Structure 1
Amino acid sequence: MSDTQPATETDLPAALAEADAAYREVDERIAEYGEETVESLADAYDEATSLLDRYEGQATGTGRENFKNFIQFQEQFGTLVEGLPDDLPERDAFEAANDRFDKRRLSDDDFAAARDRLGAASDIAGLLDERREALAEYREVRRDVERALADLREEIADRERLVELDAADLDAPVEELRDPIETYNEAVGEAFAAFKAEASARELLDFVAATDDYPLVGFPDPPESLRSYVETSEPGTEPVADLLEYARYSNSKLDHYVDDPAALKRAVATNETYLERLDAGPLRLEWPPRPASELRWRLDELVSVVGRFAPEDVVATLRDVQSVVRDRERFERLRTSAEARTELSAAEREKVASGAVEDELADLRERAGRLEDALAEHPER
């Protein structure tokens, strides 16, 4: 919150109610006068104070220039007051300020007195700014409530996850799931390494670029300068390892191998890290695996992508994983067991078993409910 320390989670519902009440109070005051009336008064007050600020010090004294400024100020201020609607709230304050200037010479005291007489109008004129500030404060407190609620929901999800994992069958035969995934990961890693070593750089980058059609595979896009070079230059027909070796040659030595050493260095040397890091990572499956609802789509894409460069026996290992995923109920039981073994510590299991997690969940849900009620009672503005 703007002028005070942020409210604690416990205090936030009351802080939101207070900010809402402050906003509604000033909004109701504006409604009493009417929005347009307050705007008109604010415009008149701003114009009056601007004239005071502009001419104070210039319309006082006895010099010729001072007298000229005095006449201009008196005319402009008088015209402003005469043009005000008769029913404008606190019109008398403007007239009282103008009366102070009905004399032959002005002093600093006259300007100070005029400002004092306009004070009655300033309260109403400031209502619009006051409402803007109250609205900003309300929105900020409401965002604090939303953030606190998001934090609580995250904690609730964490506790619910502990309960879910604790309920997993830790004796489930997860090797039925792990073995085909490990077999595939090893096979695809070897196949991609062989492809990278044997294929031309042009073929390799064409393959990577083609995976753009498979968003669940996720190879990083080849740099455009590198892609363009290997597509249009003779060295692009050689394997990546050879290009990287060329890029480390001196220009005089490289001149014996390629027609344009500078072009090769610009395209390859500047993208050396990309080429070296290009591996089978995007093709491997995670452990523990994703839920079946996500994994089956990724597997479909991988079958298409891996089949572009790998032998059929590698694709067959991928199909073995697909066959496990098809039995969704068993797959999810094995997957949850794998996650529990990976994520759940002995201390966490003991905490769940003791009932402490359920107690924490009850407390968190109650606290979240209070914040949800506060947001429902005080909607966005």
Structure 2
Amino acid sequence: MTMITIRRQDRATAVHRFPAEWEPQSGVMLTWPHAHGDWAPVLDEAFATFAAIAAAITRYERVLIVAYDKFHEARVRTALRAAQADDMRVRIVIARSDDVFVRDHGPLTVEGDSGLILEDFAFNGWGRKYPYAHDDALTRTIYAEGALGTTPLESIDFVLEGGSVESDGAGTVLVTARCLLSPARNPKHNVADIEAVLADRLAARRILWLHHGYLAGDDTDGHIDTLARFCDPHTIAYCACPAPDDEHYEELKAMEQELKSLRTASGAPYQLVPLPWPSAKLDAAGERMPATYANFLIINGAVLVPLYDDRHDREAMGVIGTCFPGRDIIGIPSLTLIAQHGSLHCATMQLPHSILA
């Protein structure tokens, strides 16, 4: 583990805070699956999963949906009605996309001197693994259509995915070295450069680096939101593998030791909450899929938890519920998501207060 304490550099529009996910939201953004890519063979199942996500969100807040075209929009609306989503809390905007994992191509929201700022980092298909041109342009496209209101948008020539950074809302950012230091993302930047970007653009005063932890079937090079999550400024829920014969055991044990060595800004150990470990989930080719309960989504008044038709699903909901007292805990069947190498949190992006007002 490496913990870096840094000072934010001055810039024209100073950023002073990267809000935590549990703070008040105006809505959640979804990029809906379509037939123009990898989701075509499982499109019916994907529509049902996304409709369940959207319907759950509309019980608490708005949902902004990106549809591929007008024909696609009509199908999306039919699915939303079938799932009993609150139509008054749904907005659909048209833009072409390559994939659905909006956590990584959608905007990150920070607080600047004059209010909120939408930050549009570059996206390159998780290190050029997949097509990405439409996804990289998506935030700018929907912003031009007015979908994100009048909040200022800044485009940044630096590859950074939303799933790769976890914020406690008070200046601490948790990341993995495997992802942020991947040469396929920002090959011309060294560690100091990356730390400077996080300080400048996300107001990171402390960067907590994890050098261990991975999930088989994960295409992100170890996004932090698949492994360890802030639940409040003092609590981290994390993946814990109890089976020595599992391929993840050594790496996740090493990650656990790193987490135990971390300290809060006040110098206290974090309260660590191990999450249940689902049994291995295999795709049609027999390859392991990245099932993780850490990929939950926090919204106003609730937490959405990915479920995998696993005997540990109910236990996971209970454990996560202890981390978020006072919030409803809602399970979302997510096997279709992990078959495409992501899960629930990956497929969503929260938008803080006032963005969708």
- Smaller-chain TM-score bracket: under 0.3
If each structure's strand is expressed as a fraction of its own residues, which one has the higher value? Answer: 2
If each structure's helix is expressed as a fraction of its own residues, which one has the higher value? Answer: 1
Give TM-score, length-normalised by structure 1. 0.21
The structure with the larger Rg is 1
Give TM-score, length-normalised by structure 2. 0.22
